Amino acid sequence: MTPDIAIFNQHMSGAGFQVGLDKGMWGVPDNDPERPTWPYIIIWIKAAIKENAPDKFFFRFTLDGYPSNAPSACPWDNDKQVVLNISEWPKGGIVTTSIFKTGWPIALYAPCDRLAIAGHANWEKEYPDLWWRSTDKIEKYLHFIHRNLNSADYAQG
């Protein structure tokens, strides 16, 4: 087992991740025969009840080099095992629209996503609580998504 897998498994067993599971904020699909292999993992995140929207979204996380490398995530069609069609990505107000940026279809546009971090060094000072650090755990990213999918901004769309 590589160090990144071992650390990720420790973090999934830790209190922060487990509290989110217990509260139904997020989870890992059960008995998924199509589950991807490392460095990918699928995690669903509960969303607020909203007309014509699912009650949870699936995300495929890329985690190689975790936690030294920030995770990256994209909305995922868990039935088809492909990136979720952009027309089905979460919609909402200005914040939700900026995070789930349709012109940025490979990852979330967020200060905790490795792909978005590149070229945005200013985000470390602008969003210090969201900026990924090697001491962070996956629940930092999960809380970020969960907060948005349960926000007034998300409800607008």
> Which is nearest to 155 in space by CA: 55, 60, 49, 43?
49
Question: Residue type for 127, please?
Answer: Y
CB 109 within 8 A of CB 98: yes
Distance CA 60, CA 150 (A): 19
Residue-wise pLDDT tens for the chain (157 aa)? 899 999 999 999 999 999 999 999 999 997 655 567 899 999 999 999 999 999 999 999 999 999 999 999 999 999 999 999 999 999 999 999 999 998 876 899 999 999 999 889 999 999 999 999 999 999 999 999 999 999 999 998 7
List, in order of start, the domains of the chain with CATH numbers.
3-155 (3.10.110)
pTM of the shown model: 0.94
Count the neighbouring beta carbons within 10 Å of the beta carbon of residue 103.
6
Would you list the DSSP string of 26-37?
EE--TT-TTPPP
Structure confidence at residue 55 (pLDDT): 97
